[in-house]
Amino acid sequence: MFLALTVRAATLGDAIGFGLCCGLVAWGAWSIGIQARIVVGEDRIVVVDWFFRHEIPYGAVESVDRTGGGVCLVLRTGRKVTPVVSGSSAVSALMGDLLQNRILAAVQAAMAAQTAGPAEPKRSFQPHLLALLLFVGSLVALAAARYLLPR
């Protein structure tokens, strides 16, 4: 934002737009890259993806597999949960899928140590990315209105 304010041709609207775009990039990076995770706990696996948070007790997991380059948790209900962070890429494949293998090994080791019976998994909606999408949509609508409406 300060860069836009120092340019002589920049207006206050340009500076605000630049600041909003920088905020949008930071928010998107947090939502998609940093916030998504998988946590292997003592009694459950917590998978936080872009839109949902899954709390899965080990008793609810039927199997854990590698499918499509990523890790897939198959639940006793038949539902499949594939954590976003376990996805594979070309770079990951060239390195031998180290992250995917570590996730798979950690989940399998934690499941082997558990003796608890089945329990119900919980799934909750995470609204932060929806807010990001609404924010992007409003920026696009404002930009379109600026150029489409008569002055």
**pLDDT, position 132:** 73
Find which of 5-14, 75-84, 131-140 is predicted with most confidence, using mean pLDDT.
75-84
One-character DSSP codes across 83-97: -GGG---HHHHHTT-
One-character DSSP codes across 126-151: -THHHHHHHHHHHHHHHHHHHHHS--
Which of these ranges, 2-6, 86-90, 132-136, has the smallest mean pLDDT?
A: 2-6
Is the whole-model pTM more than 0.85?
no
pLDDT band at 130, cuts 50/70/90? Answer: confident
Query: Taking Cα atoms as reference points, which of 31, 44, 16, 8 lies closest to residue 127?
Result: 31
**pLDDT, position 56:** 92
Counting residues of the chain whose pLDDT is more than 90, the rounded percentage is 5
In tens, the pLDDT along 55-73 reads 999 888 888 888 777 888 9
Give the tokens for residue 96.
């031998």
End-to-end CA distance of the chain: 26
Q: For residues 77-99, give the mean pLDDT.
A: 79
Q: For residues 73-80, give the mean pLDDT.
A: 90
Q: For residues 95-119, give the mean pLDDT.
A: 80
